[in-house]
Amino acid sequence: MIASDIACAATPKWPVLRGRPQRGRSRLSHAAAICRLVRWRLGCVAALLAALAIFASAPASALDYPTKPVRIILPFSAGGAADVLCRIAAQALSKHWGHTVIVENRVGGNTVVGATAAVSSAPDGYTLFYTGDQTITINPLLYPAPYNVERDLTPITLIALNPMLLAIKKDLPATTVGEFVELAKAKPKTISFGSSGAGSIQRLAMEYFAQLTGIELVHLPYRGSNETVADMLGGNVDSTFNGVSNFVQLLKAGRVRALAVSTGHRSKQVPDIPTVREAGGPALRSYATVSWFGLFAPTGVPQDIRDRIQQDLGRVLKSPEAIQALEARGFELVASTADEFRKVIAEDTVRWRDVIDKAGIKAQ
């Protein structure tokens, strides 16, 4: 219904003047009818103005979007893998839309600071939230936050995956997943593994592995992946699940040993390394974990605008240049639909809740 339709539906019926004016009281009746006509016209104008005000305050349609710069809030530090991926996506969208897409790093509180800023933003499509599985499927199971992920954020698209490698220090006496498991069973609670913290995806990936195989390992938490890998090179950490891109050059130099890839399929970066499923035997047939990054909107952004963002982002990231830039950094492009993304979030949440409960992991 257009504005003029609303205006006419809201106005009184047209007053009808019948016959010629008569003398005396009939002239007064005629004058009253004229007053009614004037009031009708004023009412029509008022209704039209009200209708126009409604349309002026309504959210912009996807046909017009965007008409000004778009901001993407990123809860990670500049220069890291998450930041690089976000900026690749932002630059591609800026070029496609003809409007600047600004990446704003809002770091702190284990991603809570950035998430809080995102959910507090106006739901008009001009503030988006780029984050990973840590924020969406792990932190809510461990840490209190002033927002509810499921209620306050709406998935737009799963952008990319960041596969991990099960890697061990080069002098550990194991060359396969099977040998690593047997070594850990023979020496319970002596083989260590490093991660980026108590509730990190790296820790959960190894705890899941340990639960399926029945081994007991010693957890060594670090501040980040770089510190974990550095201490492995120094011989202080026996094993870890960590991003493929962190190990490619180290593998070529023979400084670490890779046993398997965490995902359900092999990585293009290290195609000769089997998956955990392939190398781990019956106990690990169901194993698959991966770190991911995706785009969200504050709840309330119109669906046609969310669909426009998802479709445009998928289109620009599938260009040869974007794919090359992503793969060079260890990412695998997905560019999913919103429904596909919701399914991944739901499945990960169920898996990590079970792993956290069995491992007795507590917030620190």
205/289 Cα distance (integer angstroms): 6
Closest CA to 71 of 116, 99, 111, 104: 104
- Which residues lie closer than 8 Å to 326 by C-beta, 6 or more apart? 85, 88, 160, 317, 332, 333
The pLDDT of residue 363 is 78
Helix (H, G, I), strand (E, B) or coil at 177: helix
- Low-confidence stretches of the chain (pLDDT < 50) are 1-14, 17, 21, 23-25, 28, 35, 38, 45, 48-49, 51-59
Q: Say if residues 239 and 206 touch (Cβ distance below 8 Å).
A: yes
Give me the count of residues in the chain. Answer: 364
Q: What is the pLDDT of residues 83-103, one digit of tens each?
A: 999 999 999 999 999 999 999
Q: What is the pLDDT of residues 23-54, one digit of tens each?
A: 444 554 555 555 465 465 555 545 544 544 44
Q: Which domains does the chain have, with CATH numbers?
A: 3-57 (no CATH), 70-159+293-348 (3.40.190.150), 164-284 (3.40.190.10)
Strands 70-74, 127-132: pairing kind: parallel
User: How many other CB atoms are there within 10 angstroms of residue 165's CB atom?
Assistant: 28
Which amino acid is it at 247? F
305/91 Cα distance (integer angstroms): 19
Element containing residue 64 per DSSP (H, E): none
Distances (CA, A) of 176 to 87, 171, 187: 37, 13, 17
Q: Say if residues 358 and 204 touch (Cβ distance below 8 Å).
A: no
Tell me how many degrees the CA angle 272-351-215 measures, rounded to the nearest 5.
Answer: 65
The pair of structure tokens assigned to 260 is 């398997």
Q: Which residues pair with 241 in a beta bridge?
A: 166
Query: Residue 2, Cα to own-chain centre: how many angstroms?
Result: 36
The single-letter DSSP state of residue 255 is S
The pLDDT of residue 161 is 95
- pTM of this prediction exceeds 0.85: no
**What are the E-state strand segments in the chain?**
70-74, 101-105, 127-132, 153-162, 164-169, 192-195, 218-221, 239-243, 256-261, 291-298, 332-333
DSSP sequence for 316-334: HHTSHHHHHHHHTTT-EE-
94/313 Cα distance (integer angstroms): 10
338/299 Cα distance (integer angstroms): 13
44: left (phi over 0), alpha (psi -120 to 50) or beta: alpha
Q: Which residues pair with 257 in a beta bridge?
A: 168
Helix (H, G, I), strand (E, B) or coil at 96: helix
Handedness of CA 279, 136, 193, 253 (dihedral sign): positive
Q: How far apart are the first and last CA of the chain?
A: 55
255/197 Cα distance (integer angstroms): 24
Burial class (CB in 10 A: 0-12, 13-18, 19+), 68: exposed
The single-letter DSSP state of residue 134 is I
